Amino acid sequence: MWREGVSLAQLESLYRDRYDHFARVAAAIVGDAEAGRDAVQHAFATAVRKRRSFRGTGPLEAWLWRIVVNEARRLARERRPEPVEPPPDPAANGRVPDELGVRAWIASLPPRQRAALFLRYYADLDYRSIAEALEVEVGTVSATLSAAHTTLRKALKEVEP
Amino acid sequence: MIDVDQRLREELDLLAPATPGPDWDGVLRLAGRRRRRFAVAAAVVAAAACGILVATPLGAGIVHGLGGFSAWLTGQPGEPASPKEQRAFEQANARSWLGFPAGTQLRRLATVTEPATGTTVDLFGFRSRSRLCLRVGVTGKTRGTATSCGPLDELRKAGAPVRVVLVDSAFGTGTKKAWYGLTRYRNSALQVTAGIIADGVRRVLVVDGSGRHTIRATSNAFLYVASEPDVGQRVRRIWAETDTSRIRVPFAPAPFGVGGGSAPQRRAPAPPTVDRKVRGGTIGWLNRHEPRGQPLDVLPASARWSIERHAVFGRVITPDPDRPLRVAITLNHSRHGHRAKGLCMWLMIRDGGSGGGCAVRATVFAQGPIPIGQIAVRVSSDEFATVQGLASDDVARIVAFLADGQTMPVPLADNVYVVDIARVRLPARLVAYDAKHRVIGYTTTITAVLGGGPSPARGRARLLLHGVSPTGTTAALYVGKSTTGGRCMFLHIRQSKHVGGTMQWCSPARWRGSPLLLNALPGLVAGAVRPDVATVVFRFADGTRATVTPTEGFVLYVVPRAHLARGHELVGAVARTAAGKTIGTQPFARRR
């Protein structure tokens, strides 16, 4: 049976359980850790206020992701775009060079596609939940992720014969 | 095969910066709400979610003055199990190679049902000679059974009104997932904690990650079911409540992953003074091929092949007649034949499987009459650890000295001993006496296999450093939080498509040891440095040096190709503070 509304306890539980995922994905969308955190805080505040409007037709987490992603994208639009940089390259110490060009490719994606990648490979959401979170068709999610796979597979084949 | 998903995760990890921690109060403030006190409500909700329905009457509670566990000591807790339940138990018992004695009567103690999934958890109890056992049966959407027994002596000596027997025993697979370092765990559908309680206890309070839960005492037992628990959720504290007081119950938490599970660290019993030194003992009956115990033929077929394969002579011993456990001892020759130089011991388990090992016969008692027994925590949720081993002919009696200062006799028969020790009473030490009551030897300290030390905390490790050596070895250094407030390092190495692995190391909250903890790999050096290390200077055999600045306390240094050649290779590392002071060194083995 479908239920309507969600309790504060449920929201708090999901917030505490998945905070790190929400915050880091939001930070990746906005391009700044603090702004990502703000996005999550505001998103959950919105969820608290609108919790009675949750109709239960899909997973609660997907509903929350939609609010978080929308909030992050809203903040991203308000901010001057800043390039997302990998960790600084310390002298002589190991580093994580973007030898495959994957990060550059990810950075070049439109925000929605980038969010799809993060939701799949960082937050481990399934296609349906990603589609609900981004308010797109499942096919769009599938196509985006397929393109990511193809790009990375090509790059890996070049460096790992 | 290329793991595209994993590489995508690694790349995304780099693009998703770490953020400050959660702040639920901040969320509520933003939402225009004041924080409500959920503590009590959450406990009520959780208890309701578990659907605790006590379906059995209270036990007779006839006090016989035996430490308050009268119903258990008379073997009559709760009510008789139904004929169907008794029949199912007997059938399962008959299928087991190491069954409980025929005629063992099951007693029904408590039931918990979860209306949402229709899962029912039944708690049964029975007494099998000098052992008290709890059996949990789960039916419905999730199914399974678990049985755990403890020595009756525990009730008399433990000194607590509640004896926890099973803690967080897992059933089924749940829907939650969580990362701990580089490992992603799933939760179980149910986790069951159960124990035996004294007559005067009215309630048992259980505290776990989901809150505090009050369990009504019923039939001299308690049953707590955590339904769809969080990943890694563990019972942390238990209290017994009488009408007038609340008493903390000692128990050892169930382990999770590669850490936890140990009781609070206690001092091990001090080694006793040895009255008579004994070296080079033997097992006479084995050497003389005397038919003690039972022949190897009684072993189940599944275990016989591996045990009999190189055996010259062997017998099956029942060291404790009160428990269904047997030990096979064999004299073995090597696979090439020749004389029987090996002595093997195998502990047979209920499903017919076995675990054990072999040693050179002449060395078994070379250092003393009672070499250290093997400790085996049979299941993660079992509160008792089984310790078994061999004793030479010089040993007449063995006594276990426990961390709480008490002692317990260790059953010994035909030179084989076996004893169950509550994990909460570890570390322990076994002491051997001769026929004249003189101490002739003792084991090293027996501790739980799992537990202690820092381990990965919840949260996914992030990729910090990456390097490819001139020889093609790739290394990826991931960093995550540790359970003790420090950090965990995961060093993923790949030398070829088929050769690779992951090394894991977690630092304590305060790192006091050597400032360098570096691993020399083919063409790479990787590891952690103490927080006060500002630079690491690598020294080479030809006198040259390279200085590396650690990244967040970690180093992954790719050795230049020129320094892979003989005479130019890496010979050591020096740790320096920001002021340039040398605070430690680490040598590296040179190639021969």
> What DSSP designation does B335 have?
T
Residue A28 confidence (pLDDT) above 80: no
Mean of pLDDT values over A119-128:
82
What is the CB neighbour count within 10 angstroms for residue A89? 12
Contacts of B87 (CB under 8 A, 6+ apart): none
Which chain B residues contact residue A95 at CB under 8 A?
Answer: 465-467
Q: Is A50 on the interface with B (CB under 8 A)?
A: no
Which chain A residues contact residue B177 at CB under 8 A?
Answer: 124
State the complex-level ipTM: 0.77
Phi, psi of B355 (to 5 degrees): -140, 140
- Residue B550's pLDDT is what? 93
Comparing CA positions, the residue from B367, B539, B541 lying closest to residue B444 is B367
Q: CB distance B555–A156 less than 8 Å?
A: no
Which chain B residues contact residue A25 at CB under 8 A?
Answer: 16
Interface test with B, best of A10, A18, A20 (most B CBs within 10 A): A20
One DSSP character per residue, A13-67 reads HHHHHHHHHHHHHHHHHHT-HHHHHHHHHHHHHHHHHTGGG---SS-HHHHHHHH
Q: CB distance A12–B463 less than 8 Å?
A: no
Report residue A157 as tokens: 């084949």
- Residue B374's pLDDT is what? 47
| A16, A46, A122 member nearest B16 (Cβ) | A122
Q: How far apart are CA B414 and CA B321, in angstroms?
A: 12
Q: CB distance A15–B556 less than 8 Å?
A: no
> What DSSP designation does B592 have?
-
Extended strands (E) in B183-232:
183-186, 190-197, 203-208, 211-216, 221-227
What single letter denotes the amino acid at residue B576? Answer: R
Per the rule left: phi > 0, alpha: psi between -120 and 50, beta: everything else, B134 is beta
- Residue B52's pLDDT is what? 27
What is the CB neighbour count within 10 angstroms for residue A161? 4
Residue pair B368/B278 in contact by the 8 Å Cβ criterion: yes
Strand pairing class (B459-460; B177-181): parallel
Q: How far apart are CA B420 and CA B375, in angstroms?
A: 10
What single letter denotes the amino acid at residue A7? Answer: S
**Burial class of residue A98, CB neighbours in 10 A (0-12, 13-18, 19+):** middle
Comparing CA positions, the residue from A1, A10, A24, A9 lying closest to residue A118 is A24
Give bridge partners of residue B385 from the DSSP assignment. B421
Q: How far apart are CA B37 and CA B580, in angstroms?
A: 53
SS3 for B57-118 is CCCCCCCCCCCCCHHHHCCCCCEECCHHHHHHHHHHHHHCCCCCCCCCCCEEEEEEEECCCC
What single letter denotes the amino acid at residue A139? Answer: G
Average pLDDT of chain A? 75
Per the rule left: phi > 0, alpha: psi between -120 and 50, beta: everything else, B145 is beta
What single letter denotes the amino acid at residue B335? Answer: R
Q: How far apart are CA B235 and CA B253, in angstroms?
A: 6
Instruction: Give the helix, strand, coil percentages of chain B, each rounded to 5.
Output: 15, 40, 45
Residue A87 confidence (pLDDT) above 60: no
Q: How far apart are CA B384 and CA B169, in angstroms?
A: 13
Q: At what angle do helices A60-78 and A111-121 cross, to 10 degrees?
A: 140
Q: Would the CA dihedral through B559, B560, B566, B569 be positive or negative?
A: negative
B584 membership: H or E segment, kind and range: strand B582-587
- Residue B146's pLDDT is what? 87
- Residue A88's pLDDT is what? 39
- Residue B204's pLDDT is what? 93
Q: How far apart are CA B400 and CA B392, in angstroms?
A: 17
Q: Nearest-CA distance from A63 to chain B in Å? A: 17
Q: Is A124 on the interface with B (CB under 8 A)?
A: yes
B544 membership: H or E segment, kind and range: none
Q: Is A161 on the interface with B (CB under 8 A)?
A: no
- Tokens 């820092």 sit at which residue? B454
What single letter denotes the amino acid at residue B322? Answer: D
Interface test with B, best of A30, A93, A146 (most B CBs within 10 A): A93
In chain A, residues 62-121 whose CB comes closer than 8 Å to chain B = 84, 86-87, 90-98, 100, 102-103, 106-107, 117-118, 121
Closest residue, chain B, to A26 (C-alpha): B16
Under 8 Å CB pairs connecting chains A and B tally to 155
Those residues of chain B that have pLDDT short of 50 are 1, 34-67, 260-263, 374-379
pLDDT (tens digit, 9 = 90+) per residue, B421-474? 888 888 888 999 999 999 999 887 877 655 556 788 888 888 889 888 888 888
Q: CB distance A44–B27 less than 8 Å?
A: yes
Residue pair B5/B12 in contact by the 8 Å Cβ criterion: no
Apex A106 CA angle, A105 and A107, nearest 5: 90
pLDDT (tens digit, 9 = 90+) per residue, B305-333? 778 878 889 999 988 877 777 888 998 88
Helix/strand number for chain B, H first, E second: 8, 41
Report residue B185 as tokens: 């765990």
Give bridge partners of residue B316 from the DSSP assignment. B294, B328
Give bridge partners of residue B299 from the DSSP assignment. none
Q: CB distance B14–A100 less than 8 Å?
A: no
Q: CB distance A17–B178 less than 8 Å?
A: yes
Q: Nearest-CA distance from A148 to chain B in Å? A: 8
CA atoms within 13 A of residue B428's CA, in its CB half-sphere: 32
Residue A3 confidence (pLDDT) above 70: no
Contacts 24+ apart (CB under 8 A), B145-151: B145/B92, B146/B171, B146/B192, B146/B379, B146/B381, B148/B379, B148/B381, B148/B382, B148/B383, B148/B384, B149/B323, B149/B384, B149/B420, B150/B383, B150/B384, B150/B420, B150/B422, B151/B408, B151/B420
CA atoms within 13 A of residue B424's CA, in its CB half-sphere: 20
Q: Considering the entire predicted model, what is its pTM?
A: 0.64
Residue pair A96/A87 in contact by the 8 Å Cβ criterion: yes
Contacts of B441 (CB under 8 A, 6+ apart): B274, B278, B368, B369, B370, B395, B431, B432
Q: Would the CA dihedral through A30, A32, A34, A37 be positive or negative?
A: positive
Apex B455 CA angle, B428 and B382, nearest 5: 45
CA dihedral A149, A150, A152, A155 (to 10 degrees): 170
What is the CB neighbour count within 10 angstroms for residue B175? 8
Average pLDDT of chain B? 80
